[in-house]
Structure 1
Amino acid sequence: MKILVRNLERSITEAELLALFEPFGQIDSCVIVLDQGTGKSKGFGFVEMTNPREAIKAVKALNTLKVKGIGIRVKVAE
């Protein structure tokens, strides 16, 4: 199940994003979307989890969590 993570602080790395989701289950992929011109984070990314039940738990637990002082927004990607 693909999860959209928005409102990320621009310095967050894919490893840090992965570490947020790992406690909830197996991760298939973790990507922070980068600006092609600058190579810097656009402030959002995607995490794909194998088990939909674990993904829903992660979404509920992490939505509005403050990461580096900013409340992230987490939802199932459409």
Structure 2
Amino acid sequence: MTMECAFCAGGLDHCHGTLVVHVDGGFTECSEDGCVDLDFSRHALTIDCFDVDGGCSCAEMAARLLLRAS
């Protein structure tokens, strides 16, 4: 049994990568090499940088600021 992406089969514009939203101003990037359209609607998976494996420097900075504020 061969699995096929429903979006690919339907000819819909989409990306198989994960869209990463950074907490330092909403900067976004995609895990898929060559993805240039970072629209949320093209990505089935969207996470914020706190969830990136290995961490993210802007997430660490935001966490420090939150700790200082509390």
Normalising by structure 2, report the TM-score.
Answer: 0.26
Q: Larger relative CO (CA 8 A, sep 6+): 1 or 2? A: 1
Normalising by structure 1, report the TM-score.
Answer: 0.24
- Which protein is richer in strand relative to its size? 1
Higher Rg: 2
